[in-house]
Amino acid sequence: MAVVVAYNTDVAAILARRHDNGADHWATPDRRLAKGGPFSTLGAARLELGEDPGGPLLSETAELIWAAWRDDGRFRLAPGAIYPCQTAHAACTLAHLGRADDPRLKITLEHLLSTLHTDCGWRCNKFSYGHGPETEFSNPGPTLIALDAYRFTELANNNDKLDRAVEFLLSHWVSRAPLGPCHYGIGTLFMQVSYPLADYNLFSWLHVLSHYDRARSDPRFLEALACLEAKLVDGEVVPERVSKAMSGLQFCRKGAPSTLATRRYREVRARMAGDDSYR
């Protein structure tokens, strides 16, 4: 989407923070690409303000992410162990940057499909909350992120494993229980309208799943969509929860109608009506 003139100051503010973590392109000197929340390398590259993904800045950012790629398809986003969620986040960001057809990303997506957990989601073997029975499930958050990456490819709606991953998330809408080693649940925070689309929350959940035929006609998806639409104000999306780091930006002000968030909601509705041209 083209940069909205009203948000030029937001773009400038985001660019002004590209060295905040100690290196360029929102990275740290030791190339931690996910550190810094919305102003990490991965986070800033996905902010929807219309920067050209083929332009110099985001091309350089994409190359920095590619530098973390391994021949087996995984991404090392920080020194130390490599976790599936890191690979999913990197793949998602690169797909958003128009790199879905890159042969390296195809290797990554094949790798992710080969590492699905038994419930057809993605799961890290990192147990920050102990080893309770809930940790035997996949992590819903990284599963949503992975599906966000696959929606840019021909595998979406043409792969049984992805359909089962969609079903895993639809089932979570019913159980709402904290699942996976990282305890992703559906509660008060999930139900608050959050923008930009990044975390595991109602709006992101709906936007990603709306790209999948398996979800759009499902009663659980329709129930979740009704919950979002009950929060609209005069047909517009009003963010209820925004990262504190982004509180000064206009495109996602808490409590104020967001033009860009509303555009994403309308894309969901367009796909519901059979128009799948939006990415």
DSSP-derived 3-state class of residue 219: helix
What is the three-class DSSP state of 165? helix
Cα distance between the two ends of the chain: 10
* Interatomic CA distance for residues 33 and 119, integer angstroms: 29
- 196 cis-preceded (ω within 30 degrees of 0): yes
pLDDT at site 278: 64
List the one residue out of 198, 194, 223 whose CA is nearest residue 208.
Answer: 198
Is residue 242 pLDDT above 50, yes or no? yes
pLDDT of amino acid 1: 35
The total of other beta-carbon atoms located within 10 Å of residue 248's CB is 10
The set of residues, in sequence order, having a beta carbon less than 8 Å from that of 3 and lying 6+ positions away, is 11, 49, 50, 51
At residue 6, the pLDDT reads 67
Give the pLDDT band of residue 132 (cuts 50, 70, 90): confident
The pTM of the full predicted model, rounded to 2 decimals, is 0.94
**Residue 25, Ramachandran bin (φ over 0: left; ψ between -120 and 50: alpha; else beta):** left
Mean pLDDT of the chain: 92
Distance CA 197, CA 207 (A): 8
Amino acid of residue 186 = I
Region 196-219 average pLDDT: 96
- Predicted confidence band at 276 (pLDDT cuts at 50, 70, 90)? confident
72 band by pLDDT with thresholds 50, 70 and 90: very high
Question: Between the CA atoms of 89, 91, 96 and 98, what dihedral angle is there, to the nearest 10 degrees?
Answer: 160
Residues forming beta bridges with residue 256, ordered by sequence position: none
Domain boundaries, the chain: 1-115, 117-279
Q: How far apart are CA 125 and CA 168, in angstroms?
A: 19
Residue 3 banded pLDDT, cuts 50, 70, 90: very low
What tens digit of pLDDT does each residue of 138-152 get? 999 999 999 999 999
In terms of Cβ atoms closer than 10 Å to its own Cβ (0-12, 13-18, 19+), residue 122 is buried
* Residue scoring higher pLDDT (261 or 132): 261
